[in-house]
Amino acid sequence: MKNLIIAFFAALIAILITYGVLVLIGIDKTVATSISTVILSGVPFIHQTLVKNEDNKTKAHVHQFVSIERYTFEFKIVLVYAFLLSIAAINFPSALGGVLSGIAGPGIESVGLMLGVIGLFITYPLFFFIGRWIGIKTSSNGVVVIVLAVFLSRTATSIFDFYVLSPDEYEKIFGFAPTFFAALGQSLSGTFFLSAAALIGYWRGRKRQLAAYMGYLMSQVHPDVRNTIIELAFEEAENWKKSTK
């Protein structure tokens, strides 16, 4: 948990610095916030790097393979990862849309359409890959992780939009007035559709978990040993096939 806290605060510092620089050079505060928030997606990488460095020190540089149980993450860790990745994925369209809008200068009236297009072609694929990663890196309760992470991230983003955007900006971007029920509907509908994309990815990830773990093992051994393992696996598969006839 200590390493996770360190990773989070490292990302938070990077977010504050990025936000300050963007505002300083004249970027709209809302766009700067969206761009900065994407940095949260780096927390899992920072955390895992810290964990690996700590493991290397405690094991005195003795190489050890990770079992498939340790290859996957525990529930609370993957939930935090999924939540942060979801926050970043949800904010990515706003960040990209703000940048493109600033370059093209089309005015805020077209931002809503731009966000919709970006969401369709980028956000949903991002959630597919988040779900796929969860399917590979969890041993159980992956569906719960996805639904919880998407709901919490979508709700947090809706609350942020509700309180930070002005009524005019909110209506021009989302197409409706900023009311409690509108924000609630946005949160629930977003949770449904984004969860659907993530669950499709999760299904694919579960099918690839064993292959991903074998890929990890193969990457840790010498090429000669790798070829031997493949040959043995092939022979076992052939023997099994003959025994089932």
What is the per-residue pLDDT for 112?
55
CB atoms within 10 A of CB 145: 26
What is the per-residue pLDDT for 176?
72
Q: Has residue 195 got a pLDDT over 90?
A: yes
Q: Picking from 79-83, 109-113, 155-159, which range would have the lowest pLDDT averaged per residue?
A: 109-113
Give the C-alpha separation, 180 to 159, whole Å.
9
Helix axes 75-104, 180-219, angle to 10 degrees: 110
> Over the chain, what is the mean pLDDT?
81
Q: Which residues 6+ apart lie within 8 Å of 130 measured at CB? A: 82, 85, 86, 89, 198, 201
Flag whether 18 is in a domain.
yes
Q: Picking from 116-120, 125-129, 164-168, which range would have the lowest pLDDT averaged per residue?
A: 116-120
Residues 153-180 have a mean pLDDT of 78
Q: Has residue 237 got a pLDDT over 70?
A: yes
Q: Tell me, what DSSP letter sits at residue 25?
A: T
Flag whether 198 is in a domain.
yes
Tokens of 67: 């079992």
* pTM attached to this predicted model: 0.80
Q: Has residue 188 got a pLDDT over 70?
A: yes
The percentage of residues in the chain with a pLDDT greater than 90, rounded to a whole number, is 23
What is the per-residue pLDDT for 131?
95
Flag whether 81 is in a domain.
yes
The answer to whether 151 and 222 have CB atoms below 8 angstroms apart is: no
Q: How many domains does the chain have?
A: 1
Query: How confident is residue 172, by pLDDT bands cut at 50, 70 and 90?
Result: low
Residues 16-21 have a mean pLDDT of 90
Range of the domain at 132: 2-49+70-240
Flag whether 223 is in a domain.
yes
Flag whether 56 is in a domain.
no
Query: How confident is residue 136, by pLDDT bands cut at 50, 70 and 90?
Result: very high
Q: Tell me, what DSSP letter sits at residue 138?
A: B
Flag whether 58 is in a domain.
no
Task: State the maximum Cα–Cα separation within the chain, in Å, rounded to a whole number.
Answer: 72
More confident residue, 67 or 231: 231
Give the C-alpha separation, 170 to 101, whole Å.
16
What is the per-residue pLDDT for 73?
86
What is the per-residue pLDDT for 59?
58
More confident residue, 147 or 48: 147
Residues 83-101 have a mean pLDDT of 76
The answer to whether 186 and 174 have CB atoms below 8 angstroms apart is: yes
Flag whether 59 is in a domain.
no
Give the C-alpha separation, 73 to 121, whole Å.
29
The tens digit of pLDDT for each residue in 81-91 reads 999 999 988 88
Reduced to 3 states (helix: H, G, I; strand: E, B; else coil), residue 73 is strand
Flag whether 63 is in a domain.
no
Query: How confident is residue 132, by pLDDT bands cut at 50, 70 and 90?
Result: very high
Could you tell me which of 142, 133, 139 has the C-alpha nearest to residue 89?
A: 133
What is the per-residue pLDDT for 105?
52
Q: Has residue 203 got a pLDDT over 90?
A: yes
